[in-house]
Amino acid sequence: MASFGVALDGRNGWRGSFNLRHFGPRPLTEDNSARSAATTLASARLAWRIDSRTSLSFDVFIVFDKRASDIDYFYQSRLPGEAAEGVGDIHFHPVEPRSFRLTLTRRF
């Protein structure tokens, strides 16, 4: 696992950041016969401090709109028509698609 981030604090209340997270291939079974694929994901933020109590930020998650799995498992499962003992396979939870968030914050 590796993580890299850069944050910039600019003039006139502007800030920005970029984060990159990489998970390398990892064993899914004790004997290492099944492994997950590597996953690299990126996120970014641009923010503006309007005044001492108000800020506006824009976030982008999964910047490169990558199709990957967030987590992987290896276990036996059975679909209709398959053998009773099931089939060993990798099951996964996909990464959410690219998304955006706009946030207005007001401190009281």
Residue 28 carries which DSSP code?
A: S
Distance CA 28, CA 35 (A): 5
Domain that holds residue 65: 2-106
Give the pLDDT score at 10: 87
Amino acid, single-letter form, for residue 97: P
Domain count, the chain: 1
From the centroid of its chain, how far is CA 21?
A: 8
The per-residue pLDDT string of the chain (108 residues; one tens digit each, 9 = 90 and over) reads 999 999 999 888 999 999 999 999 999 999 999 999 999 999 999 999 999 999 999 999 999 988 898 899 999 999 898 888 889 999 999 999 999 999 999 999
Distance in angstroms between the alpha carbons of the first and the last residue of the chain: 40
